[in-house]
Structure 1
Amino acid sequence: MKILIVSDTHRKDDSLYKILSETGPYDMLIHLGDSEGSEEKITGWAGEDCPVHIVLGNNDFFSNLDREKEITIGKYRILLTHGHYYNVSLGVERLELEARERDLDIVMYGHTHRPFYEVHNGVIILNPGSLSYPRQEGRKPSYMIMEVDESGEAHFTLNFLKV
């Protein structure tokens, strides 16, 4: 299973379209907020056989997106959130605590526009960064791919958009 994980596209959707066109197809698309009204376009690009999960970001005004979602991929219970309700700009400790309280394996978040991947007390915490306004050193647009192998194990790769 191959899952595309993105965040913070802020209506600058050309990069996402390029990724879907050049590296797809995907079995699932996860957008971690701040799509700013592009939800239908993104869902259409993913294709009808690709489930799409998009959560509410702090810039998704007038949207009826879920504030967060819990999903299951294989053996993994996953929380999808933009992260601003958990003060992720100050650290991921609240995300870890929330995951442990809910018995979750993985937390995916956005908001900071910086890629992040760490395992905290058995909880995988990740952020794919931003495709539109990256803030990490080098400022390269980024996304992640999650692949679940035949034995059910998840593997994550951070990728940078070639511009």
Structure 2
Amino acid sequence: MFVVLSDSHGERAVIEDIKKHYEKTASAIFHCGDSELPSDDEIWEGITVVAGNCDYDPGYQEFQLQEVEGKKVLLAHGHLFYVGLGLERYSYFAEEKNADIALFGHIHQPVAQKINDILYLNPGSVAQPRGKYDIKMYAVIEIKGNHYTISYRNLKHEKIADLQFEL
């Protein structure tokens, strides 16, 4: 099981709370960018994080590729792939990197879908939600072989009823 959050826009306490809630149980915690925190902030110990379009610290990487629970997980903010217009460009990049899971931020809205056997997931925003779901949220992914259980959670760590998926 691992945790994905994004677009915290300076809300350090939210990151800290999620980290404390999962640091003993999650195999990984990912932040998909736009934290607006320094790249050397101690909060990042134990969290894989990338640069977003609002992160100007040169210490962040634009993308990361990491193996978690036997899956290659690609992490990017998404702005460089114009994910607001669709996932086509990001899907080319994910396929090039042989990713099993491609995480991204930027659009502040939940997305969970498979394209060519790659899971694409946006965890929404823990600070500034947009779109249909006006809920500050993050996602939890559980891996069962080639199937994924995705659970979107509010900041009280409660499951959001309409946002539970088996893919």
Instruction: Tell me, yes or no, whether TM beats 0.5.
Output: yes
* Secondary structure, counterpart of 1:103 in structure 2: coil
Alignment TM-score, normalising by the size of structure 1: 0.83
1:63/1:37 CA distance change after superposition, 3 Å: farther
Higher relative contact order (CA 8 A, sep 6+): 1
**In the aligned structure 1, how far is the partner of 2:66 from the partner of 2:91?**
17
Any gaps of 5 or more consecutive residues in structure 1?
45-50
**In the aligned structure 2, how far is the partner of 1:119 from the partner of 1:160?**
23
Q: Deviations over 1:70-101 (max 9, x none)?
A: 11112211110000000001011111122222
1:76/1:12 CA distance change after superposition, 3 Å: same
**In the aligned structure 2, how far is the partner of 1:20 from the partner of 1:67?**
22
* Alpha-carbon offset, residue 148 of structure 1: 3.7
Greater fraction strand: 2
1:28/1:82 CA distance change after superposition, 3 Å: same
Please tell me whether residue 7 in structure 1 is matched to residue 6 in structure 2.
Answer: yes
1:130–1:141 Cα contact (<8 Å) kept? yes
Q: Deviations over 1:46-71 (max 9, x none)?
A: xxxxx321101100013311110111
Identity percentage of aligned residues: 28
* Alpha-carbon offset, residue 161 of structure 1: 2.4
Any gaps of 5 or more consecutive residues in structure 2?
158-167
Alignment TM-score, normalising by the size of structure 2: 0.82
Aligned residues: 155
